Structure 1
Amino acid sequence: MPLDPTCRRSVRAGRRAARTRARAARVRRGSGDAKPAPRLRRGSRGKVAPVNQDDLLTRGSGVSRRRALTLLGAAGASGAAAACGGAKTSSNADSATTTAPSTSTSTAQAGGSAGTATTATSTTAPSATVDCVLTPEATEGPYYLDIAKVRSDITEGKDGAPLTLRITVLDAATCQPIKDAAVDIWHCDAGGIYSGFGSASTGGGPGGGASGRTDNLVFLRGTQLTDAAGLVTFQTIYPGWYRGRAVHVHMKVHVDNSVKHTGQLFFDDGLTDTVYQRAPYNARGARDQRNTDDGIVGSAGGASAIAAVTGNGTYTGRITVGIKQ
Structure 2
Amino acid sequence: MTTATRRGVLGLLSASAALLSPSARAASETPAPAAGAEDACILTPQSESGPYYFDPKLVRTDITEGRPGVPLGLRLRVIEAGACTPIPGARVDVWQCDARGIYSGYPGQSDTHKLDQSGKTYLRGTQMADAAGWAGFNTIYPGWYAGRATHIHFRVFVDEATVLTGQTFFPEALNEFIYSNVPDYTGRPKQRLVINANDRVATDADPDHRAYCAVKEERDRYLATLTLAVRREAAKPVEMPTGRLPPAPWIKDRLAALVPGLKRSPF
Query: TM above 0.5, one fold?
Result: yes
Q: Structure 1: how far apart are the matches of 2:205 and 2:153?
A: 11
1:251–1:262 Cα contact (<8 Å) kept = yes
CA contact (8 A) 2:28 2:171 kept: no
Distance 1:299 1:137 in 2: 11
From the superposition, tell whether residues 126 and 146 of structure 1 become closer, same or farther in structure 2 (CA, over 3 Å): closer
Supply the distance in 2 between the matched residues of 1:281 and 1:203 (Cα, whole angstroms).
13
Secondary structure, in 3 states, of the residue corresponding to 1:281? coil
1:181 to 90, 99, 103: 90
Check whether the contact 1:263–1:300 (CA below 8 A) recurs between aligned residues.
no
Question: How do 1:47-86 and structure 2 match up within 5 A?
Answer: none
Q: Aligned to 1:318, what secondary structure does the other structure show?
A: strand
Counterpart residue number, 2:124: 221
Amino acid at match of 1:266: F
Query: Residues 110-121 of structure 1 correspond to what in structure 2 (within 5 A)?
Result: none
One-letter code of the match for 2:152? V
2:100–2:110 Cα contact (<8 Å) kept: no
- Deviation string 1:25-52 (CA, Å, 9 cap, x unpaired) is xxxxxxxxxxxxxxxxxxxxxxxxxxxx
Cα RMSD of the aligned pairs, angstroms, is 2.2
Q: Determine which of 187, 191, 201 is the counterpart of 2:109.
A: 201
1:320 aligned onto 2:227: yes
Matched, 1:281 2:190: no
Q: How does 1:221-300 map to 2 (within 5 A)?
A: 221-276=124-179, 277-284=181-188, 285-300=190-205
For 2:47, the equivalent position in structure 1 comes to: 138
Instruction: Give the C-alpha shift of residue 126 in structure 1.
Output: 2.7
Matches within 5 A, 1:85-104: none
Match of 1:156 in 2: 65
Give the counterpart letter for 1:299 in structure 2. D
CA gap of 1:188–1:108, structure 2 versus 1, over 3 A, is: farther
Name the structure 2 match of 1:124: 30
CA–CA separation in structure 2 for the residues paired with 1:108 and 1:160: 23
Contact kept in structure 2, 1:135 and 1:300, CA below 8 Å: no
Give the Å deviation of 1:287.
Answer: 1.4
Q: Which residue identity is paired with 1:307?
A: C
Secondary structure at 1:297 match in 2: helix
C-alpha spacing 1:122/1:172, structure 2 compared with 1 (3 Å):
closer
Q: Identify the residue that residue 309 of structure 1 maps to in structure 2.
A: 215
Q: CA deviation at 1:259?
A: 0.5
Mapped to 2, the partners of 1:323 and 1:148 lie a distance apart of 23
* Residues 138, 264 of structure 1: 8 Å contact kept: yes
Q: Does the CA-based 8 Å contact 2:103-2:117 persist in structure 1?
A: no
CA distance in 2, matches of 1:108, 1:200: 39
Structure 1, unaligned stretches of length 5 or more?
1-104, 110-120, 205-212
Identity %: 42
Deviation at 1:214, TM superposition (A): 5.5
- Please list every run of 5 or more consecutive structure 2 residues that lacks an aligned counterpart in the other structure: 1-15, 21-26, 233-267
**For this pair of structures, how many residues does the alignment match?**
201
Match for residue 236 of structure 2?
A: none
Superposition deviation, residue 186 in structure 1 = 0.2
Shift in alpha-carbon separation, 1:298–1:242, aligned structure 2, 3 A: same
Q: For residues 183 and 196 of structure 1, what CA distance do their matches in structure 2 show?
A: 19
Query: Quick check: which has more Rg, 1 or 2?
Result: 1
- Matched residues in 1 for 2:73 and 2:157: separation? 21
Select between 315-324 and 291-300 the one with higher mean Cα deviation.
291-300
Following TM superposition, by how much is the alpha carbon of 1:300 offset from its aligned partner in structure 2, in angstroms?
Answer: 3.5
Whether 2:78 is the aligned partner of 1:169: answer: yes
**Deviations along 1:55-86, whole A, 9 cap, x unmatched?**
xxxxxxxxxxxxxxxxxxxxxxxxxxxxxxxx
* Cα deviation, residue 138, structure 1: 0.3
User: Structure 1, residues 78-122: CA drift from partner, whole Å, max 9, x if none?
Assistant: xxxxxxxxxxxxxxxxxxxxxxxxxxx94558xxxxxxxxxxx94
Larger relative contact order (Cα-Cα within 8 Å, sequence gap ≥ 6): 2
Contact 1:152–1:235 (CA under 8 A) maintained in structure 2: yes
SS at match of 2:41: coil
